[in-house]
């Protein structure tokens, strides 16, 4: 039953009509647990509160349904405004973004033009931009774009690798030539067993494998997980191999495992929280529900609260 619920939520996450309908309700029916408001101002406030707790952030202006050049340019403008707001407010945060929101499905050239505008601003401020990895259909072209931009912008740009894909370990090996800053995740999209491990145990095993390999290569690892077993394994592994805390960080999602976030920060680890904001929050929110269908009950209760 839980798997059926998860599959349904993932299907709905890509449904345009449901996305449009959800926006009419706004964040009030539960999404504000996972999304830091619809404006840059609300996002900066959320980051400032995290910074007070010794936690850093990465801001993401949500947007996945982009159908025109104008929308893609507008989305890139928001990314630049986000970098401006980070710089002006002096909060400790970098930026995450998706290639599709910058027009990748319209044309690669459009997407690259937008990325260069964003990276120019990030480089000016001495900030960092992470390219999020999306579904498998966008995987290879996103890898190609990252390599091209890494050659142009160096350490200003980073990428995400998803452990549920069979190709993840080979990608870690391939990208080692760039000594990249990678966010390592399990993966949140519904994929075919032809390209992704169907069993959770295999994903978990591969996740540990790519974390260890990337760290042993001497590269910076952003370990994105709420799994305490993985966190404890990493703590033990870095001590055994004399890997400094400055070579990795833990990452979690806004609104999830808040006490654990605070605990890790107090223990002296770099703890970064992924803080999404914006009015195009629907797809992101549905994927968070799919990861833990029990949250659906929380949302239903929220809808009926006055």
Tell me: pLDDT of 72 over 50: yes
pTM above 0.85, yes or no: yes
- Between strands 93-97 and 56-61, the pairing is parallel
Tell me: pLDDT of 281 over 90: no
Mean pLDDT of the chain: 88
Tell me: pLDDT of 115 over 70: yes
Q: What is the DSSP string of 151-212?
A: HHHGGGEEEEEETTBTTHHHHHHHHGGG---EEEE---S---TTTB--SHHHHHHHHHHHHH
Active-site position among 60, 132, 171, 280: 132
- Annotation says 150 is catalytic: no
Distance from C-alpha of 227 to C-alpha of 27, rounded to nearest angstrom:
27
| Better pLDDT: 32 or 263 | 263
Tell me: pLDDT of 35 over 50: yes
Distance from C-alpha of 184 to C-alpha of 56, rounded to nearest angstrom:
17
Tell me: pLDDT of 300 over 50: no
- Annotation says 117 is catalytic: no
Tell me: pLDDT of 288 over 70: no
Q: What is the mean pLDDT of residues 286-299?
A: 56
**What pLDDT shows up at residue 305?**
43
| Better pLDDT: 261 or 8 | 261
pLDDT tens track for 168-205: 999 999 999 999 999 999 997 888 999 999 999 999 99
Active-site position among 130, 150, 183, 288: 183
| Better pLDDT: 141 or 11 | 141
């Amino acid at each position: 039953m839980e798997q059926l619920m998860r599959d349904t939520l993932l299907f709905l996450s890509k449904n345009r009509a449901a996305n449009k309908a959800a926006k009419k309700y706004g964040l009030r029916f539960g999404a504000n647990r996972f999304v830091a408001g619809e404006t840059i101002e609300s996002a900066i406030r959320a980051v400032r509160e995290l910074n007070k707790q010794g936690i850093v952030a990465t801001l993401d202006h949500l947007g996945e349904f982009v159908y025109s050049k104008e929308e893609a340019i507008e989305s890139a403008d928001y990314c630049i405004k986000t970098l401006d707001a980070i710089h002006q407010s002096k909060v400790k945060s970098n930026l995450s973004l998706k290639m599709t929101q910058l027009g990748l499905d319209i044309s690669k050239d459009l997407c690259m033009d937008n990325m260069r505008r964003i990276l120019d601003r990030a480089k000016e401020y001495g900030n960092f931009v992470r390219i999020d990895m999306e579904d498998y259909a966008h995987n290879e072209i996103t890898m190609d774009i990252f390599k091209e931009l890494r050659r142009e912008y160096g350490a200003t740009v980073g990428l995400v690798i998803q452990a549920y894909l069979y190709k993840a370990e080979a990608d870690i090996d391939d990208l080692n030539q760039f000594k990249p800053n990678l966010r390592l995740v399990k993966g949140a999209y519904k994929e075919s067993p032809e390209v992704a491990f169907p069993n959770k145990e295999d994903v978990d095993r591969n996740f540990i494998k790519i974390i260890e390999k990337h760290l042993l290569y001497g590269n910076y690892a952003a370990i994105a997980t709420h799994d305490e077993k993985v966190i404890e394994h990493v703590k033990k592994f870095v001590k055994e191999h004399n890997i400094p805390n400055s070579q990795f960080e833990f990452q979690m999602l806004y609104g999830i495992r808040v006490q654990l976030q605070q605990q890790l920060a107090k223990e002296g680890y770099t703890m970064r929280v992924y803080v999404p904001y914006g009015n195009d929050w629907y797809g992101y929110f549905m994927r968070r529900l799919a990861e833990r269908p029990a949250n659906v009950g929380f949302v239903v209760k929220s809808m009926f609260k006055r």
